[in-house]
Amino acid sequence: MAQISLTLPDGNARQYDAGITAGEVAADISKSLGKKAISATVNGAHYDLAWPIDADADIAIHTMQDEEQANELVRHDLAHIMARAVQEIWPDTKVTIGPVIKDGWYYDFDRAESFTPEDLGTIEKKMKEIINKRDEVRTEVWDRARAIKHYEDLGEPYKVELIEAIPGDEPLRMYWHGDWQDLCRGPHLQHTGQVPGDSFKLMSIAGAYWRGDSDRAMLQRIYGVAFTGKEKLRAHLNMLEEAAKRDHRKLGREMDLYHMQEEAPGQVFWHANGWLIYTQLQDYMRRQQRKGGYVEVNTPQVVDRKLWEASGHWEKYQENMFIVEVDEEHAREKAVNALKPMNCPCHVQIFNQGMKSYRDLPLRMAEFGSCNRYEPSGALHGIMRVRGFTQDDGHIFCREDQIEEETAIYIEFLRGIYKDLGFENFKVKFSDRPETRSGSDEVWDKAEEALLSATRKAGIEPELNPGEGAFYGPKLEFVLTDAIGRDWQCGTHQVDFVLPERLDATYVGSDGGKHRPVMLHRATLGSFERFIGILIEEHAGKLPFWLAPRQVVVASITSEADDYVMEVVETLKAAGVRAEADMRNEKINYKVREHSVGKVPVILAVGAREVEEKTVSVRRLGQKQTSVQALSDVAQELSVEATPPDLRA
């Protein structure tokens, strides 16, 4: 029998007969590893312990201590175990697909009756019974004809359709969990008892069209989450509970920030409170950009398709654009325009006005650009995912030898802004060329090398994010981590050699000849809508004082204090604090509760004693204790807090 060489992570190689399984390799390394092993990575691919290895390879054996691989297996097995449980309880149910997703899995079912929330408990109980049986998990490889006949005999039409849709004619892998069988590429654990029975939970039921086609059957999707230990499950459920409290949609209502309605899907109706946050943030960014050497411009909302064709957006991005047809003076052919989905082609038009010299570069151009992009209705999510938004967009036109310096300058610019807004740390991802792109491989090689080198020289080693670049160039993505551990991709920085070429942007070099500028696309907050949503959730509505739309409510305890209430309000306004009076004939505890729900940072209570002593009783949001302070001291203290961080001495 042919021999193969398997190289372990420590560099040592072992010789085996071709066809040996990863499970046998683990047992050969040590008896204890053979017992603990759950899967292997073979030449970068995740392998089931039962799969044969037929050629020389690098191999690493995994145990439950390897979080990434263990989570994948546990969640994948639970998808099968859940489908088995459903069919054992309701035998007429048809099964479809059940993939692993972030933190868990889902499985889609075709069942005449609707699942209820109470059914989830019944299914969980049956799943734990299956886990406790410790049924063997085994796999076989079948040809397609045999697999199709098998599912036809079982009355599983969705599995038949899945097989017929798989390209090629290679054989298929079939898995059994006990007597229950599913079509699956694997890998899986070795028996159901390896799944931690106390570390999963079924979460919800939703509708889902078969294969995402609204003309096909509506199925029922059950979602579950799972981890390798009950403590991790508990932490995840606590995080979800905390996230629900922080949901910007809920807080947006309570704080009276904005609303959305079906007549304008994916568009935001900003109320006075929300718009105040928006304009405060925009004013802050405008000051920072001026300080950073940017010139601010503004470009049209509706632009002729000719520009989008020239830029490449018409070909690569049209499905995300809102098209506008205009009958220009009853011409025979309507003019076709588009609402701009991004600002970059328009900024090139400004650059192209007049001759530019190498001495003019870098030219840093910024715009609070209102953009519109078509997002499927199912993808819309409050103000986090919308169709109409405004970016703090910027483009830096520079020479090729300035890419490195400009990238380093921008990273420091972004770092200072994130720090001011309460985010001390961020991660950076490097996204390289996508499948659909403009420009030659040579241009992409140059752009990727320049951006990666510049990032590393700025002292940052980015995570690789393969294939996720823009169609015109590679990009850096700046990812913030919020107070409960969630990641938010906000800022971007992209190197683009393509668009200046397509739109014929040039500058006169020191040699007197014409040269192409490099275009660096950058956004720091991203969209204002999304970033405000992130801020609301990060702070659970308790925004930094300078950003809070309602900073202080001065509440009367008795009507005799009304005049003093107004004196306090005027004193605070004179100190630059947003203050309002609450002199309603309500008990002070009622007023405090109401304004606390509205996330007012400071409530000043005023009664007879405060009137006499010229003081106020100070209650800060989230604190039970109150303190009595002189009005002059409170006004001075709050005046400092109300000053944006970049304007403080």
**Active-site residue identified among 75, 305, 356, 373:** 373
CA distance 415 to 393: 16
For 318, the token pair is 């049209």
Query: Is residue 338 helix, strand or coil?
Result: strand
246 contacts 210 by C-beta, under 8 angstroms = no
CA distance 18 to 644: 68
Query: Is residue 210 helix, strand or coil?
Result: helix
Its sign, for the CA torsion 312, 316, 322, 327, is positive
304 catalytic, yes or no?
Answer: no
**Active-site residue identified among 475, 515, 539, 595:** 475
Q: Which residues are annotated as a binding site?
A: 344, 395, 521
CA distance 639 to 329: 57
- What's the residue count for the chain? 649
CA distance 70 to 46: 11
For 273, the token pair is 């409170």
48 contacts 187 by C-beta, under 8 angstroms = yes
Phi, psi of 95 (to 5 degrees): -100, 155
Cα 167 to its chain centre, rounded Å, is 32
34 contacts 23 by C-beta, under 8 angstroms = yes
Q: Which residues are annotated as a binding site for Zn(2+)?
A: 344, 395, 521
Candidates 273, 276, 239, 277; CA nearest to 254 is: 273
CA distance 72 to 482: 25
**Active-site residue identified among 246, 248, 313, 395:** 395
248 catalytic, yes or no?
Answer: no
391 catalytic, yes or no?
Answer: yes
Other residues' Cβ atoms within 10 Å of the Cβ of residue 319: 7
475 catalytic, yes or no?
Answer: yes
Longest dimension (CA), the chain: 100
| Distances in whole angstroms, Cα of residue 132 to Cα of each of 129, 300, 369, 502, 575 | 5, 65, 58, 63, 68
**Active-site residue identified among 108, 119, 135, 393:** 393
| Distances in whole angstroms, Cα of residue 52 to Cα of each of 32, 135, 289 | 21, 22, 59
CA distance 528 to 100: 33
**Active-site residue identified among 437, 521, 522, 595:** 521
Q: Tokens 């003076």 belong to which residue?
A: 329
For 358, the token pair is 């190498």
CA distance 518 to 400: 6
CA distance 200 to 124: 9
Amino acid code (one letter) for 361: L
Task: Tally the C-alpha atoms within 13 A of residue 107's C-alpha that lie toward its C-beta.
Answer: 29
393 catalytic, yes or no?
Answer: yes
CA distance 338 to 210: 33
The residues annotated with a catalytic role in the active site are 344, 373, 391, 393, 395, 475, 521
